[in-house]
């Protein structure tokens, strides 16, 4: 039986009544001076990475267009797609936190571009992600639970292909353009912000209409391959890494060590993902900039479950757990702590600790 993940149903009210909503989460102790240093923001790393990102996108798309209609163009479209449809996911995320750059307007500018690339309304998703951090994987409260129980593998496959995100993105743009908003979204967006949601959607709709008209006028796929379609065909990397964040782990707990996963990755994946592989660390201390997360990891790893050694190693844990959750929604992986860690609070996590 599918669990009730609705933000306006009985489960949502139960989370509030039981104190799971806006709860006091566990945090690893860290020296105040160390934390102050880790929270220092800087423009330089994000400017460097943004320059590299757009240089790669321009280069890949230029080569792809030059080689059209030959199949030799395909690898370059794939590269462009991953940068547009996956790297922009992490840029949307970090700039939404306001930590990527020290200068606020830089965060806002890249946030708007990345939101467009991901088909995520920048107003809606800023509030959505704030709720995700306040009530991480709390059923009925978190609007960004990617894997719901019981697990349906067809749904995960469609997400991996970018089809669900693309379809829901298009639907939301159309609905918001008509001034319509569902009750679940209304539950976390203040009323005074909703006009902004509708205005952005109408601007985006105009851009997509112009893109489609240009594609039809020139009898060419190129405009669509450059704008819109990469959200779908380039989504696989951010879904691949995103499923590792919380997949197979506990719901309804208030210790990120139980519901989030840190996975070591190579430099290419970390560039695309902007260090969000340090996911326990990010959820514990979301105001630490992405470029400081490796240092934060070294400071607190004594108190965290052992990190998975690679994406492959992570999926060796995730996939069997998801398979079990397809028939047993109550199953989850317990992240074992090293001897140096403070134990989980049994009074808060009776279900998770057995």
Q: Which residue pairs, CB below 8 angstroms and at least 24 apart, start in 293-299?
A: 295/38, 296/38, 297/262, 299/30, 299/34, 299/38
pLDDT for res 354 = 47
pLDDT in tens, 43-81: 999 999 999 999 999 999 999 999 999 999 999 999 999
Domain region containing 257: 234-354
pLDDT higher for 20 or 245?
245
State the virtual CA torsion across 123, 94, 231, 109 in degrees, nearest 10. Answer: 60
Three-class DSSP category at 263? strand
Contact 311, 267 (CB under 8 A): no
Number of domains in the chain: 1
301 assigned to some structural domain: yes
Half-sphere exposure for 226 (CA within 13 Å, toward CB): 20
pLDDT in tens, 178-201: 999 999 999 999 999 999 999 999
Q: Phi/psi zone of residue 277: left (φ > 0), alpha (ψ -120 to 50 degrees), beta?
A: alpha
pLDDT for res 345 = 81
pLDDT in tens, 115-148: 999 999 999 999 999 999 999 999 999 999 999 9
309 assigned to some structural domain: yes
pLDDT for res 140 = 94
How far is C-alpha 82 from the geometric centre of its chain's CA atoms?
15
Predicted structure pTM score: 0.94
277 assigned to some structural domain: yes
Contact 143, 149 (CB under 8 A): no
281 assigned to some structural domain: yes
Q: Taking 90 as the threshold, does the pLDDT of residue 321 lie above it?
A: yes
297 assigned to some structural domain: yes
263 assigned to some structural domain: yes
How far is C-alpha 298 from the geometric centre of its chain's CA atoms?
23
Average pLDDT over residues 256-266: 97
270 assigned to some structural domain: yes
35 assigned to some structural domain: no
Average pLDDT, the chain: 95
pLDDT for res 2 = 76
Rounded to whole angstroms, the Cα distance separating 76 from 14 reads 49
Average pLDDT over residues 76-90: 98
């Amino acid at each position: 039986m599918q669990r009730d993940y609705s933000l306006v149903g009985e489960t949502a009210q139960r989370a509030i009544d039981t104190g799971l909503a806006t709860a006091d989460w566990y945090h690893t102790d860290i020296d105040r001076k160390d934390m102050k240093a880790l929270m220092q923001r800087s423009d330089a790393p994000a400017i460097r990475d943004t320059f590299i990102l757009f240089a790669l996108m321009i280069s890949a798309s230029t080569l792809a267009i030059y080689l059209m209609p030959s199949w030799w163009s395909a690898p370059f479209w794939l590269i462009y797609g991953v940068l547009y449809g996956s790297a922009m996911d992490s840029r949307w995320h970090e700039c939404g936190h306001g930590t990527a750059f020290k200068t606020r307007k830089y965060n806002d500018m890249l946030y708007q571009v990345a939101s467009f690339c991901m088909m995520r309304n920048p107003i809606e998703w800023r509030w959505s992600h704030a709720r995700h951090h306040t009530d991480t994987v709390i059923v009925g409260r978190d609007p960004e639970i990617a894997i719901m129980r019981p697990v349906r593998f067809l749904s995960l496959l469609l997400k991996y292909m970018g089809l669900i995100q693309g379809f829901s993105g298009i639907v939301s743009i159309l609905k918001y353009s008509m001034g319509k908003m569902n009750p679940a979204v209304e539950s976390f967006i203040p009323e005074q912000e909703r006009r902004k949601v509708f205005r952005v959607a109408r601007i985006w709709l105009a851009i997509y209409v112009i893109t489609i008209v240009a594609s039809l006028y020139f009898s060419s796929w190129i405009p669509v391959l450059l704008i819109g379609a990469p959200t779908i065909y380039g989504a696989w990397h951010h879904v691949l890494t995103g499923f590792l964040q919380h997949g197979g782990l506990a719901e309804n707990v208030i210790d990120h060590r139980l519901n989030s996963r840190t996975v070591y990755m190579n430099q290419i994946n970390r560039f695309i993902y902007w260090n969000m592989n340090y996911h326990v660390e990010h959820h514990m201390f979301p105001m630490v900039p992405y470029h400081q997360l490796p240092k934060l990891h070294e400071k607190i790893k004594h108190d965290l479950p052992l990190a998975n050694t690679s994406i492959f190693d992570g999926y060796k844990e995730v996939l069997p757990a998801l398979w079990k959750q397809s028939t047993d929604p109550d199953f989850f992986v317990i992240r074992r702590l090293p001897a140096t860690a403070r134990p989980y609070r049994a009074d808060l996590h009776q279900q998770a600790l057995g």
